[in-house]
A = this chain, B = another copy of it.
Amino acid sequence: MSEINRQYLLKQRPVGRIKESDFERKDSPVPEPGEGEVLVRNLYLSLDPAMRGWMNEGKSYVPPVQLGEVMRGLTVGRVVRSRDDSFSEGDFVTGILGWQDYAAVPGKQLGRAVTEPSLTANLSLMGIAGRTAYFGLLDICDPKAGETVLVSGAAGSVGSIVGQIARIKGCRVIGIAGTDAKCAWLVDELGFDGAVNYKTEDLYKALRAKCPDGVDVFFDNVGGETLDTVLRLINLRARISICGAISTYNATEMPPGPQNIRSLLVNRARMEGFIIFDYADRFAEADAALADWHKDGRLKIAEDIVDGLDEAPRAINRLFDGTNTGKLIVRIADEAG
């Protein structure tokens, strides 16, 4: 066991893009678990776009991280010591244990981690990303075979799974991503029917060409201009799932709203937001389906693993600058060590 507990605290609230100096490293002693608590060695940390919102002062769907607090984050870890009868040393667990090496928390705040196909799958396919893709697509949009499903942020952790599930459901799937390499990966590796590079192509024209029958379902991770453009392309009774709006998270002024909102009326279309935590009582359903599809070879895991907790303050910007593909994960420690 390492002697210290590296902790990354929120030092100041970011203005615009996150800076490394918005965090502060503090080396603390490894905590002692109290009665009913479990001491966990974090092994992997999930980096998520939602973290940008948690760093802001205003209340969102969860309270903000306070200044001086350990930065919030979902992790997978191994139990080092347990004072809760439900957990034993060596168990693999998941929880919101933060950007740190160790956490001592009540056992009821922990979940059991799967070890197959991998520990990191707890943060990707069978984690928040997979569940978000599953419910945000199937529950909010109810895609039918033959329909055209469009996904923004398609090469990201959620988008890459959304597109694959839509393919499994027999839909025609087009992705929007920010590099030619990502677009090629979506089509060649993940089986998307097409992809558009929004940075180099005229988005409206490119989408019109790639979606000649219009858009029945739009799964939106990006918001902003992308959403506004897609509103011009939706079909009658289209369903839009608002998963995120990553294009706006670093904005220092309130970004413009979608001018084509009237398209919802003309097309009798629906736009709906969701938060994955509302589906907690159905996570098992999603996990089982996702695991089955993965086992069948129909759903690939896409992960982007960065080494070392000390890299986290820099790596998080990969979510926003377009250099990340698949689920962004920080490896904090070796699974064995």
Could you tell me which A residues sit within 8 Å of B by CB distance?
Answer: 60-61, 223, 227-228, 242-245, 248, 254-275, 278
Contact = CB atoms under 8 A, between A and B. Distances in A.
A270 B270 contact: yes
A221 B67 CA distance: 43
Nearest to A269: B273
Nearest to A241: B265
Contacts of A266: 60-61, 273, 275
Nearest to A278: B268
Ranked 3 nearest A-B pairs via Cβ: A257-B257, A265-B273, A264-B273
- How many monomers of this chain does the complex have? 2
A83 to B, nearest CB: 36
A244 B262 CA distance: 8
20 contacts: A60-B266, A227-B261, A242-B261, A242-B265, A243-B265, A244-B265, A245-B261, A256-B259, A257-B258, A258-B261, A261-B261, A264-B272, A264-B273, A268-B273, A268-B275, A269-B272, A269-B273, A270-B272, A270-B273, A271-B272
A175 B57 CA distance: 33
Nearest to A264: B273
Contact of A257 (B242, B261, B268, B274): B261
Contacts of A254: 259
B265 A275 contact: yes
A248 B270 contact: no
Contacts of A269: 272-273
B257 A267 contact: no
A271 B271 contact: yes
